[in-house]
Structure 1
Amino acid sequence: MRRWLGAVRGAIGFLTRLPAPHREGDWEAFRTTPAAFPIVGFVTGAIAALPLVAAEALSAPSVALGYLLAVYAVTGVHHVDGVADLGDALVVHGDVDRRREVLKDTTTGVGALLAVSITVVGLALGGLGLAGLPVLAAVAIAIAAEVGTKLGMAAMGCFGTASYEGMGRQFTAGAAPRSFVAPAVVGLPAVALTWPHPAAAIALCGAIGGIGLPWYWATRHLGGLSGDIFGAANEIGRVAGVHAGVIAWTLL
């Protein structure tokens, strides 16, 4: 139990801007306990979804803006740096070494600007879609998308391979494929948040699918994962999950 508490504290400290007491060993507990990812997903998803509760009292654009601001107030913007670095690496011409060099470069290029813009606008439009849904459905989809995003990050740590020393290897070296059982069990209840409607389940799966995009690209073009790819996956997975949930609720 002490190890799990330490893992959750470490996850909150790394994945969010929420105040949490820090103790020695929390980081080590977090990186070797992938189940902490979806636990924090439930917490951050619920807090970020609070502006959606006002959907019946405020205009949809205002609620969408509130959701966007809440997401970044809770999770911070440091993961967006991964989106920027991935955007620059996507547009550069060259081999694996050249792409890795660009990924670590602090210079902001046109690829970074475009990638961040699409991600932020995509989340805002997803928030606008949520604002048009029944309140309970909107909140459930937002939570499920966040849990799915964190579950996808846990999968990256359990099944992925790091391309070089760094933050990515901290996670991939701390978990094994069998370690994914625990985070899957922890995240599974999120699929029932809109039961019997499948929107929450589709939002969760959509988030995992969204994470698969940078994961696949990094494996193929970078030789493996890095901390920037984890950060980018966190942002892309959320956008994909929210949109998948909204589309599912609208069409099914």
Structure 2
Amino acid sequence: MNGFLLALRSSFGFLSTIPVGITMEGLDEFFKRTYLHLVVGIVLGLIMGAVAYLLVNYLPISIAAVLVIAFVYYITGLNHLDGMADLGDGLTAHGSVEKKLKALKDMSLGIGGVAYASLVIVAFYATLVALHEQSSILSSSSADIARIFFFAMFVSEISAMQSMLTIAAFGKSIHEGLGSILVNNTTVPKYLIGFVIGIVACVAMSFYLGFGIVGIIPFIAAILATFILLNISNRHFGGVNGDVIGASNEVGRIIALITMTLILMYGGIVWTL
């Protein structure tokens, strides 16, 4: 198997629970091509979008939202949510940078981690419900509402992957590990390749579904939010690690979904349903 195909297979093994197999050689090839995060994001976004489309079309939103969230974590694993929990422990620790770093890297879960992880899940659920509410105001057609959910899940997963690349490209590693390998290998050119892939995918899907260029807005919003997270991490820890990279995935997804909801709420006219 050539290097690119091995890297592509390994990217799915690293970033999802899809059983494609993963080896150290494959990881090495993947880390040479970190822009493949966006390829994984596109595929996972299509799968998540299709699942959301079906669930929202045939189930009450309260039940559909829970099942969408469950599926997202089923197919992506809990590593990123675990990163958010570890980040929460680190940010809520009192004292010096050293004490915060110790809490960040501690294997045990503290109240800060519980609070941050819980907040992510609650925000995920609340945003899906709000997205449904605003979609229902815009259109009474269940098919149109489901189509918006497909699009929202597609764009939000791509945004989540670009958020991780943003942390990796512009962050400074604070200790050795998979996070530092990702940081060291994500150069600005690789970041820009991922950025272009993400923009093209979001805009192409926007036009295909008849939504204009709406998809670019949540994508950019997620990146901007990630820079805020990067600044917070630099102030508290002096840099980033794998936990911060994982947390950025959760932040990027939620911010993208919130942005989609706000677009519907304040600029629904741009949606040509």
Same fold (TM over 0.5): yes
Change over 3 Å in CA distance of 1:139–1:100 after alignment to 2: same
Per-residue CA deviation, residues 84-110 of structure 1 (Å, 9 max, x unaligned), is 111111111112111110111122211
Which has the higher mean CA deviation after the structures are superposed, 182-191 or 69-78?
182-191
Which has the higher mean CA deviation after the structures are superposed, 21-30 or 8-17?
21-30
Which residue number corresponds to residue 71 of structure 2? 70
Take 1:211 and 1:70, find their aligned partners in 2: how far apart are those partners? Answer: 24
Which has the higher mean CA deviation after the structures are superposed, 61-70 or 206-215?
206-215
Which residue number corresponds to residue 11 of structure 1? 11
Question: 1:24 deviation in Å?
Answer: 5.2
Take 2:185 and 2:106, find their aligned partners in 1: how far apart are those partners? Answer: 26
Take 1:78 and 1:24, find their aligned partners in 2: how far apart are those partners? Answer: 18
Take 1:249 and 1:124, find their aligned partners in 2: how far apart are those partners? Answer: 17
Take 1:117 and 1:175, find their aligned partners in 2: how far apart are those partners? Answer: 30
Unaligned runs of 5+ in 1: none
Which residue number corresponds to residue 157 of structure 1? 168
Task: State the AA in 2 paired with 1:172.
Answer: V
Give matches, 1:87-236, under 5 Å. 87-132=88-133, 133=135, 134-192=145-203, 193-195=205-207, 196-236=211-251
Tell me the SS of whatever aligns to 1:235: helix
Tell me the SS of whatever aligns to 1:14: helix
Take 1:56 and 1:177, find their aligned partners in 2: how far apart are those partners? Answer: 41
Question: 1:53 deviation in Å?
Answer: 1.4
Equivalent residues of 1:143, 1:190 under 8 A apart: no
Task: State the AA in 2 paired with 1:106.
Answer: M
Unaligned runs of 5+ in 2: 136-144, 268-273
Equivalent residues of 1:145, 1:200 under 8 A apart: no
Higher gyration radius (CA): 2
Per-residue CA deviation, residues 217-249 of structure 1 (Å, 9 max, x unaligned), is 112221111011111111121111111112112
Name the % identity.
26
Change over 3 Å in CA distance of 1:130–1:116 after alignment to 2: same
1:21 maps to 2:30? no
- Between the two proteins, the alignment pairs up a number of residues equal to 252
Take 1:188 and 1:199, find their aligned partners in 2: how far apart are those partners? Answer: 11
Per-residue CA deviation, residues 106-153 of structure 1 (Å, 9 max, x unaligned), is 222111111011001111122223444322222112111110111121
Question: 1:72 deviation in Å?
Answer: 0.5
Question: 1:161 deviation in Å?
Answer: 1.4
Runs of 4+ in 1 over 4 A off after TM superposition: none
Give matches, 1:232-243, under 5 Å. 232-243=247-258
Give matches, 1:40-79, under 5 Å. 40-54=40-54, 55-79=56-80
Task: State the AA in 2 paired with 1:124.
Answer: Y
Take 1:206 and 1:74, find their aligned partners in 2: how far apart are those partners? Answer: 24
Per-residue CA deviation, residues 153-208 of structure 1 (Å, 9 max, x unaligned), is 12222222111212221111112222222112211223322344443222212222
TM-score (norm 1): 0.92
Equivalent residues of 1:141, 1:199 under 8 A apart: no
Task: State the AA in 2 paired with 1:7.
Answer: A
